[in-house]
């Protein structure tokens, strides 16, 4: 599949009303074709099946899609990467970093983070990268660091989680505090005592939002 094939497939299913509502939901930061998730994924489902057989990331296609003005193209990029995650290497993460640092909003960030989490289970160098990112001036980069261990359960690196959150204490940024709360809430399902101790220890430095989210299952 070439980028023009993808554009044509999306354009054929474009819905102006949906596009308007979707843009409004994203605070009118992006242009949409107006494709709902099932329609969008169906447009490239067969292509992704074929790509898996190649076992190689088509970086040029991803860059072309990412540079397109339509938000569905960025959704294609993270769907592609998630489908091909077995073939994403540590070095590939530095190319994907461009996607993390551009056209930023929670919709792409919270999907791209899954790639870093997956690679992190295979390559421990990701631990240090995420620790570095937890101090980055860019809030969305820090959010990736905070969220990258979501759903790890007993594979959670508690020391890393603690350090990353500690680097973001006393934050007034909603998207950071929400991410902290999610990370704590998620891990509380596996180790509620650890999360409870963490919240107690840093209670005066965690936002009310983080505490409320993190305490939900304790």
The mean pLDDT of the chain is: 98
pLDDT band at 169 (very low <50, low <70, confident <90, very high): very high
For 187, residues 6+ apart whose C-beta sits below 8 A from its C-beta are 149, 152, 156, 161, 194, 195
The pLDDT tens digits for 101-156 are 999 999 999 999 999 999 999 999 999 999 999 999 999 999 999 999 999 999 99
Residue ranges matching CATH 1.25.10.90 in the chain? 1-87
> Superfamily for 124-218?
ARM repeat domains (1.25.40.290)
Cα 101 from Cα 97, distance rounded (Å): 6
pLDDT at 115: 98
Question: pTM for the whole thing?
Answer: 0.96
pLDDT at 74: 98
Average pLDDT for 55-70: 97
For 11, residues 6+ apart whose C-beta sits below 8 A from its C-beta are 33
Residue ranges matching CATH 1.25.40.290 in the chain? 124-218
pLDDT band at 211 (very low <50, low <70, confident <90, very high): very high
Quick check: 33 pLDDT over 90?
yes
Cα 39 from Cα 13, distance rounded (Å): 8
Selected from 1.20.1440.130, 1.25.10.90, 3.30.420.10, 3.90.180.10, the CATH number assigned to the domain covering 1-87 reads 1.25.10.90
pLDDT band at 1 (very low <50, low <70, confident <90, very high): confident
The pLDDT tens digits for 6-26 are 999 999 999 999 999 999 999
pLDDT at 177: 98
């Amino acid at each position: 599949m070439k980028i023009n094939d993808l554009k044509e497939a999306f354009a054929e299913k474009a819905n102006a009303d949906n596009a308007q509502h979707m843009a409004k939901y994203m605070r009118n930061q992006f242009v949409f074709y107006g494709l709902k998730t099932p329609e969008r994924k169906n447009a490239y489902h067969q292509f992704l099946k074929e790509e898996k057989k190649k076992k190689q990331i088509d970086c040029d296609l991803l860059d072309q899609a990412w540079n397109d003005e339509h938000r569905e193209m960025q959704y294609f990029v993270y769907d592609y990467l998630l489908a091909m995650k077995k073939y994403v290497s540590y070095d590939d993460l530095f190319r994907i970093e461009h996607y993390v640092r551009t056209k930023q909003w929670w919709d792409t960030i919270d999907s791209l983070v899954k790639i870093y989490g997956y690679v992190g289970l295979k390559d421990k160098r990701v631990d240090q990268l995420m620790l570095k990112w937890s101090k980055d001036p860019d809030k969305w980069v820090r959010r990736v660091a905070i969220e990258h261990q979501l759903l790890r359960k007993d594979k959670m690196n508690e020391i890393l989680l603690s350090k990353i959150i500690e680097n973001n204490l006393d934050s007034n940024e909603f998207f950071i505090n929400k991410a902290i709360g999610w990370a704590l809430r998620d891990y509380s399902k596996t180790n509620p005592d650890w999360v409870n101790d963490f919240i107690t220890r840093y209670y005066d430095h965690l936002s009310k939002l983080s505490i409320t989210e993190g305490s939900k299952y304790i």
